Structure 1
Amino acid sequence: MAANSTIEWTEATWNPTTGCDQISAGCDNCYALTLAKRLKAMGSAKYQTDGDPRTSGPGFGVSLHPDALDIPRRWRDPRVVFVNSMSDLFHARVPLEYVRRVFEVMAETPRHTYQVLTKRASRLAKIAPQLTWPENVWMGVSVEAEDQLGRVDALRNVPASVRFVSAEPLLGPLDELSLHNIDWLIVGGESGAGARPIDPEWVRYLRQKSAESDTAFFFKQWGGRTPKAGGRLLDGRTWDEMPKASRSSVA
């Protein structure tokens, strides 16, 4: 599954797996779960199974899609690609050998830049030494509140060319966040029905911390009923910084 993306910090999405389950507060209003239900109702083949009911948690079952592995090879022009916008590549139900196959595709298509994002940082840290990390792979973790800052510590020593943190949806202050060895920080508010509010002071603090750490800062949205409901302006301007290692055309 692949598509052009409306996400401000990428250009396309590629889903060699689909499905996930809830592991922390940031998952409560999961956009992927909502979209998966819609796609299932529309008859999309990839969303007609809920996975193994013995192992699936709240959410939608993890499924592998080997037929999607060749998609980036068919893209001739360079793209910035968000990997698994509808899943988590480091989910426990994605076998290591399949993760390796995804990494092989990324290594074989150096014209593209791949952005991989996970909430399962402990598994990332565990298997990172067993993977070959090409220069065009950026690795990130999602951190919505201070009780998840351990994910950043797990990321810090992963041998990716770019390491990034996605503080979205930001549900509280991240006063103890260290950006040591972190190249990029994305911040955003929650969107959708029941979106939880974001405090502008939380965002300003992270912008300042990014500047002090020489970490690129990207403010994605304030959020609200829809992703664009609150706009993207922070103190009168947009903040679309990209990491220095970036070969991206997004900025």
Structure 2
Amino acid sequence: MAERSVIEWTDHTWTPIVGCTAKSPACANCYAAPMAARLEAMGMAKYAGLATRSGGRGKWTGKVNLSEADVLAPLNKRRPARWFLTSMGDVFHEAVPDEFLDRLFAVMALGSRHTFQVLTKRPERAAQYLNTPDRVWKLFGSVRKHIDDEYREGSRWEEDETPFPWPLPNVLIGCTAEDQARANERHPHMLRIAAAGWNTFVSYEPALGLVDWTGWQFLKWLISGGESGHGARPSHPDWHRAARDFCAAHGIPYMFKQWGEWAPRRQAERDDLLDARRSVIVKPDGGITSGLMAYGSDAWVLDRLGKKAAGRLLDGQLWDGVPVLKGGA
């Protein structure tokens, strides 16, 4: 099933893979886990056994379901669009077999009118999969075995030549990097993917700490944003400014997606004493206080307003940069 998305940087969510396992600090308040538990409670077999829910929070069980009914969804849409794979799991989760990934990438190859945004917290597996020497021929075999002729008509693949352009020019491979530790950990794998010719991006959301983006000049896109929902953690404005300024210096499209639950009001003052249920002071190093503690002039007061009221303006401006890919939407 293809769904119109409310996510600012895509048009449709594509969910042939559902289910996950928590991987890093960004996963602490995952929106997808409680949603999966809720959808199972509503009788949707696709989400059976994926997550448990308690007190409004969800927890992945580690089970992953593969939805055959959703594999071909993008090929049924003629209008060029952006497709996010997958909003309810991780494409490169350890439980997803390579053969199933071959089928999904075959669909992306045939759907060259679309742009596909593949986001993972497991870029090490993505790098291994995408750099397999005969991968393009495995995709070709998957097309012949699994995809009906009606979807192949007018496509660019031919039996007597390289069946697809590889890397696929209409695909973005991205990773989440919520803080410096995760950026350091995932950088070598993303660099390997980019060096192989793939378009790459980073989702710096939820931003949980300042990141030095030196060495990420190979990116085609960077998205940053604060956390929303239950238990959301505030993000310092300077973290997003650093990402924005890095992109501006290197010609990388930048999108500020949202403040999330917490919006900046002003720089903190030495005598501030705040109601921590509604307002907090955030230091550049991520330290949080309600006031009357040691902090410099670079600390900020953030108010808990909710996602809609907090908005999407960074320094009074919308930042909606997106990359334009060859052959994609």
Q: Does the pair score TM above 0.5?
A: yes
Q: Counterparts of 2:234 and 2:326 in 1: how far apart (Å)?
A: 31
In structure 2, do the counterparts of structure 1 residues 219 and 193 end up closer, same or farther at CA, with 3 Å as the change threshold?
Answer: same
**CA shift for structure 1 position 246:** 6.6
2:35 matched residue in structure 1: 35
Q: Quote how far apart the aligned CAs of 1:12 are.
A: 0.4
Q: How do 1:196-211 and structure 2 match up within 5 A?
A: 196-211=233-248
Cα distance in 1, alignment partners of residues 323 and 21 from structure 2: 30
2:310 partner SS: coil
- Structure 2 residue matching 1:155: 3-state secondary structure: helix
Pair 1:117–1:160, CA change in 2 (3 A): farther
The residue correspondences of 1:231-250 to structure 2 (distance < 5 A) are 231-245=311-325
Would the alpha carbon gap of residues 176 and 73 (structure 1) be closer, same or farther in structure 2, given more than 3 Å must change?
closer
User: What is residue 176 of structure 2 aligned with on the other side?
Assistant: 142
Counterpart in the other structure of 2:99: 97
Which residue in the other structure is 1:156 paired with? 191
Q: CA deviation at 1:203?
A: 0.7
Give the count of matched residue pairs: 243
SS in 2 for 1:210: helix
* CA distance, structure 1, for counterparts of residue 182 and residue 319 of structure 2: 24
- Percentage of identical aligned residues: 42
Q: Secondary structure at the match of 1:87?
A: coil
| Preserved CA contact (<8 Å) 1:188 1:223 | yes
Higher alpha-carbon Rg: 2
Kept after mapping to 1: 8 A contact 2:19/2:90: yes
Deviations 1:217-238 (A, max 9, x none): 1000000075434100011110
Partner of 1:55: none
Deviation, 1:135, is: 1.3
Which residue of 2 is the match for residue 44 of structure 1?
44
Give the AA of the match of 1:144: E
1:88 aligned residue (71, 87, 90): 90
The alignment status of 1:126 with 2:123, answered yes or no, reads no
Taking structure 1 as reference, are residues 37 and 185 closer, same or farther at Cα in structure 2, changes over 3 Å only? Answer: same
Match of 1:11 in 2: 11
Q: Any unmatched runs of 5+ in structure 1?
A: 52-57
Per-residue CA deviation, residues 26-66 of structure 1 (Å, 9 max, x unaligned), is 00000111211221222222112239xxxxxx514211112
What is residue 191 of structure 1 aligned with on the other side? 228
* Residue 106 in structure 1 maps to residue 108 in structure 2: yes
Distance 2:45 2:121 in 1: 26
Name the CA distance, whole Å, in 1 between partners of 2:29 and 2:109.
Answer: 33
Most deviating of 150-159 and 62-71: 150-159
In structure 2, the CA distance between the partners of 1:126 and 1:156, relative to structure 1 (3 Å rule), is same
Name the SS for the 1:7 alignment partner: coil
CA shift, 1:177, in A, is: 4.5
What is the CA–CA distance in structure 2 between the aligned matches of 1:211 and 1:126, rounded to whole Å? 31
Equivalent residues of 2:177, 2:186 under 8 A apart: yes
Contact 1:125 1:155 in 2 (8 A): yes
- The answer (yes or no) to whether the contact 2:84–2:117 under 8 Å persists in 1 is yes
**SS of structure 1 residue aligned to 2:117:** strand
Q: Is the 8 A contact 1:152 1:165 kept in 2?
A: no
Q: CA RMSD in A?
A: 1.8
Question: CA–CA distance in 2 between the matches of 1:17 and 1:215?
Answer: 30
Deviation string 1:152-193 (CA, Å, 9 cap, x unpaired) is 321123145421000000000002543221110000000001
Q: Which one-letter code corresponds to 1:245 in the other structure?
A: L
* Alpha-carbon distance in 1 for matches of 2:328, 2:313: 22
Question: Aligned pair in 2 of structure 1 residues 246, 240: CA closer, same or farther (>3 Å)?
Answer: farther
Bigger shift: residues 221-230 or 140-149:
221-230
Q: Which moved more, 1:240-249 or 1:68-77?
A: 240-249
Q: Deviation of residue 245 (structure 1)?
A: 3.0
Worse-matched range after superposition: 2-11 or 30-39: 30-39
Where in structure 2 are there 5+ consecutive unaligned residues?
A: 52-58, 137-166, 262-304
